[in-house]
């Protein structure tokens, strides 16, 4: 197969930031993706419907003329979130999910949830109205090893929550482990999981072997090779439980290449070419459409995009910019470390 045409894909987990950074990185997603679930962890975070409306306006104002892109907004769950406001947000049609950040789990998550009991009224409301909960699935207790945080979260937080509220729709975002793959596979129709581009390509050796590579550092951190292979099997399986959420996260180089570097890989520019490469390696090019274009809309109750995107395999490898230039500073584009021959042509 030398050419693939699929419904225009969506990104079900995207960081756009705001201000000058938003203006710099938004075109990189809008070029290939029709829609994206927009993460709310700004400073200050997007907590209320009013916040989401203001952020949506900022994104649309930054969208270059001639580009077609729909931001799907989310609210940042806090222990003081008002269930009534969440219900209003869902009824508005603008807000498509609420994001659970365990406090301290990742970038700008310090205002997140420390005690799940404090947000049960919100979660009960979401279960009643069918609004999905997107979870950053890691515990943050210091005694738990960083490579075990996802598995412990599933056992101690997610599974008890789903048993108490089985009708709650949950997206396990950016799963990174065999345990995450298995839990999503065994769940009901109210459970799904996103998988990032970079976790299909790197394992923890890429970050640590031969010197620290800060542009491969992300949270959840990449795990052992057996987990990467489990993610590949899941993504290419054709199961509707799994779909694309890039977690593309721009940070300026000065904050990545730092004594306490920021977590995140910026993959918006080259995700579709990288996915075609991965799916071809796995003998599953015919399943790329489901993963990138169909399973996500089905879970979120949205139509599949009518416009299409075409990739073509060429002899010459893809050439992407090494960096995206933003007013705050350069942002390094994820480098897979191997040549990729699948070009996005339309």
Instruction: Determine which of 18-27, 104-113, 241-250 has the lowest per-residue pLDDT on average.
Output: 104-113
What is the pLDDT, as a whole number, of residue 64? Answer: 97
Q: What is the pLDDT of residues 39-60, one digit of tens each?
A: 999 999 999 999 999 999 999 9
Instruction: Give the CA count within 13 Å in the CB-facing half-sphere of 208.
Output: 8
Got the DSSP string for 100-135?
E-BTTSSTT-TTSBS-GGGGHHHHHHHHHHT--EEE
pLDDT score at 284? 98
Encoded tokens for 184: 């999503």
Domain parsing of the chain, residue ranges: 3-344
Say how far apart CA 84 and CA 123 lie, in whole Å: 12
The pLDDT of residue 109 is above 90: no
pTM, rounded to two decimals: 0.97
Query: How far apart (Å, rounded) are the C-alpha atoms in residues 297 and 286?
Result: 18
- pLDDT tens digits for 156-181? 999 999 999 999 999 999 999 999 99
Contact 153, 173 (CB under 8 A): no
The pLDDT of residue 324 is above 70: yes
Residue 321 confidence (pLDDT) above 80: yes
Which of 97-106, 159-168, 256-265 is the least confident region? 97-106
Under the banding of pLDDT at 50, 70 and 90, the label for residue 108 is low
Give me the mean pLDDT over the 293-307 stretch.
98
Q: How confident is the model at residue 102 (pLDDT cuts 50, 70, 90)?
A: confident
CB 265 within 8 A of CB 334: yes
Token representation of residue 339: 């040549």
Q: Give the CATH fold of the 3-344 domain.
A: TIM Barrel (3.20.20)
User: Percent of the chain scored above 70 by pLDDT?
Assistant: 100
Residues carrying an active site annotation = 247
pLDDT at 1: 81
Query: What pLDDT shows up at residue 187?
Result: 81
Q: Please, what is the average pLDDT of the chain?
A: 96
Query: What does the pLDDT look like over 136-159, one tens digit per residue?
Result: 999 999 999 999 999 999 999 999
Is 220's pLDDT higher than 90?
A: yes
CA 166 to chain centre: 23
| DSSP-assigned states of every residue in 201-220 | T--HHHHHTTS--GGG--SS
For the cut 90, the answer to whether the pLDDT of residue 107 exceeds it is no
**What span, in angstroms and rounded, lies between the C-alpha atoms of 17 and 319?**
25
């Amino acid at each position: 197969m030398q050419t693939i045409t699929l419904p225009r894909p969506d990104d079900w987990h995207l960081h756009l930031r705001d201000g000058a950074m938003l203006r710099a990185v938004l075109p990189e997603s809008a070029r290939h993706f029709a829609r994206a679930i927009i993460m709310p962890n700004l400073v200050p975070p997007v907590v209320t419907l009013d916040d989401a409306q203001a952020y949506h306006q900022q994104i649309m104002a930054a969208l270059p003329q001639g580009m077609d892109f729909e931001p799907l907004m989310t609210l940042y769950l806090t222990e003081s979130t008002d269930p009534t406001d969440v219900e209003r947000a869902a009824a508005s049609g603008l807000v498509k999910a609420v994001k659970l950040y365990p406090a301290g789990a990742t970038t700008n998550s310090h205002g997140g949830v420390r005690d799940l009991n404090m947000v049960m009224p919100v979660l009960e409301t979401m279960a009643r109205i069918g609004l999905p909960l997107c979870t950053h699935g890691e515990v943050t207790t210091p005694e738990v090893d960083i490579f075990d945080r996802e598995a412990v979260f599933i056992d101690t937080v997610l599974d008890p929550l789903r048993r108490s509220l089985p009708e709650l729709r949950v997206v396990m975002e950016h799963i990174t482990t065999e345990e995450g793959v298995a839990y999503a596979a065994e769940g009901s129709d109210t459970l799904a999981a996103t998988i990032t581009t970079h976790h299909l390509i790197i394992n923890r050796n890429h970050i640590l072997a031969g010197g620290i590579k800060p542009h491969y550092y992300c949270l959840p951190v990449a795990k052992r090779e057996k987990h990467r292979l489990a993610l590949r099997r899941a993504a290419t399986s054709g199961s509707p439980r799994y779909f694309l959420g890039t977690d593309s996260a721009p940070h300026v180089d000065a904050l990545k290449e730092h004594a306490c570097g920021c977590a995140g890989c910026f993959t918006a520019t080259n995700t579709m070419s990288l996915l075609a490469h991965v799916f071809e390696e796995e003998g599953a090019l015919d399943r790329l459409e489901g993963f990138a274009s169909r399973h996500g809309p089905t879970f979120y109750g949205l139509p599949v995009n009518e416009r299409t995107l075409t990739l073509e395999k060429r002899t010459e490898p893809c050439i992407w910019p090494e960096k995206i230039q933003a007013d705050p500073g350069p942002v390094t584009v994820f480098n897979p470390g191997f040549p990729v021959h699948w070009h996005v042509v339309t």
